[in-house]
Amino acid sequence: MGRKLEKGKLVLATHNAGKLAELRELIGPLGFDVVSAGDLGLDEPQEDGTTFEHNARVKAIAAMEATGLPALSDDSGLCVDALDGAPGVYTADWAELPDGTRDFAMAMRNLEEKLQSKGATTPEQRTGSFNATLCLAWPDGHCEFYRGVAPGQLVWPPRGSSGFGYDPVFVPEGHERSFGEMTAEEKHGWTPGQKQALSHRARAFQLFAKEALGVE
């Protein structure tokens, strides 16, 4: 078991609106006074790592050092088997436009083109997983990591308009609808006592709640 976190103020080390909404919903019932790095106007640190753990730590440490408060970050991405794990830590970069904004419709089209170029046309050839790594940084610099993986398949054309990022082209294992067709509660809803969360972020959060908060 890792170090326990006392309830109080907690910084969510993200500027991503979609990710922030999910993190707020997940942590909301647990009694923390949360504020985001974006709310505080903190600079976004450079994420130059080649692993989810490295980038998650960079974000958590930056928010902790700027505020003196415990900080929880998330680094996540889509890993496609036929593309040797790409886009992985570069998942958001695939959506980057020259002006710095992100176009995930473009990113999903590019992903599909790459799958087609690999001849990945059957469900068995289009497997992958969403991966999320949470990093909790304490004010003394100590860090703990909590990892969640949601396996599934890539579909085309996109399905649904809920969620964010690549959700409309990802169908989680054991389901027929994409993340983009699910409500927020279906995708990442998790409550203490629930056997298994569905999304990668919820699974990572479930582990965080158990190991850092003692919530089963």
Q: Which residues are catalytic?
A: 75
Residues 61 and 66: their CA atoms lie apart, in Å, by 8
DSSP state of 189: -
DSSP for 58-78 reads: HHHHHHHHHHSS-EEEEEEEE
Residues 177 and 167: their CA atoms lie apart, in Å, by 10
Give the DSSP H/E element, type plus range, for residue 152.
strand 143-154
Q: Residue 159 — φ and ψ, nearest 5°?
A: -125, 120
Residues 75 and 23 sit within 8 Å (Cβ to Cβ): no
Residues 26 and 51 sit within 8 Å (Cβ to Cβ): no
Residues 6+ apart with CB under 8 A from 117: none
Give the DSSP H/E element, type plus range, for residue 135.
strand 127-137
Expressed in percent and rounded to 5, the helix, strand and coil fractions of the chain are 40, 20, 40
